[in-house]
Amino acid sequence: MRVYLDIARHLEQEVRHYFQAGDYLPPESKLAKKYDVNRHTVRRAIDELVFTGLIERQQGRGNMVVSQPYDYPLHAGAHFTDNLMEQGSLPTSQVISRGLVAANEKIAGMFGVELESQVIKLRTLRKINGMPASVIDHYLADLHWWPVVKHFEVGSLHAFLKDKLDVHLTRKSTRLRAMMPKKTDCRLLQLSGKTPIMVFKTTNVITGTDRIVEFSSSHTRSDLVEIVLEH
């Protein structure tokens, strides 16, 4: 059983060998016919590739290949450093999902909006030398940004907002802890479940004001990344 995992593996090989970033997969319906399974099963397989950041779904358009093939990961144990001051403005991240979600109590409270009101949610994956290093959920308060944010694909979110919307963000506070990865973390970060992750929660305000307009939660592999703060 678990046909979708076989298909996911096969699809991933196909993508890495014969597709480039920007290409689109064949339609789900075609793939379903090709693999002789229900379209649900193909979707479930593609879900896996979306999770790992290889594919991005685009309703009405298709499933796009996000990252380059042949990005071979380094041997484990390699060591990187990171600069906390650049969290949220990291240049090497790519979007793996986006949409509007209802604000939960915490988010609504921070943003000063009604509970259940809609906010923008982006999930980005950051890779270092082809290795997934951290997955970051961004929440944006201002729905007016959505038409623009819809087209953000790779690079720095903060730079993108500054560029396209003239919105300048400043970090207000950062909260940090460590924990063992959940299943989703393991999948997204290709983790074994034995190494802990670091969790950063940061709030960002519009520069010069106290209005929190972005909240992000980052899950970072602790074996690949060492955080550096220069005072």
CB of 120 or CB of 225, closer to DNA: 120
**Contact between 4 and DNA per CB under 7 A:** yes
Which two structure tokens, joined as six digits, stand for 212?
């929190």
Identify the residue among 10, 40, 177, 182 touching DNA (CB under 7 A): 40
170 CB neighbour count, 10 Å cutoff: 11
d(CA 207, CA 195) in angstroms, rounded, equals 36
Question: Does residue 231 sit in helix, strand or coil?
Answer: coil
**Contact between 29 and DNA per CB under 7 A:** yes
CB of 118 or CB of 222, closer to DNA: 118
Q: Which does 211 bind (CB under 5 to 8 A by kind): DNA, a copy of itself, none?
A: none
Subset of 62-121 contacting DNA (CB under 7 A): 62-63
CA 68 to chain centre: 16
**Contact between 27 and DNA per CB under 7 A:** yes
Q: Which does 231 bind (CB under 5 to 8 A by kind): a copy of itself, DNA, none?
A: a copy of itself
Shortest Å, Cβ 227 to a copy of itself: 4
Identify the residue among 11, 15, 19, 25 touching DNA (CB under 7 A): 25
Angle between helices 28-35 and 39-51 (to 10 degrees): 110
Binding site for a copy of itself (CB under 8 A): 5, 9, 12-13, 16, 50-51, 53, 56-57, 66, 70-71, 81, 84, 101-102, 104-106, 116, 170-180, 182-184, 194-198, 222, 225-231
**What are the DSSP calls for 26-54, one per residue?**
PPHHHHHHHHTS-HHHHHHHHHHHHHTTS
- What is residue 98's DSSP assignment? E
**What are the DSSP calls for 192-224, one per residue?**
-SSS-EEEEEEEEEETTS--EEEEEEEEEETTT
Shortest Å, Cβ 26 to a copy of itself: 21
Question: Does residue 16 sit in helix, strand or coil?
Answer: helix
Residue of 176, 181, 171 whose CA lies nearest to 214? 171
- Interface with DNA (CB under 7 A): 1-5, 24-25, 27-29, 36-41, 43-44, 57-63, 150
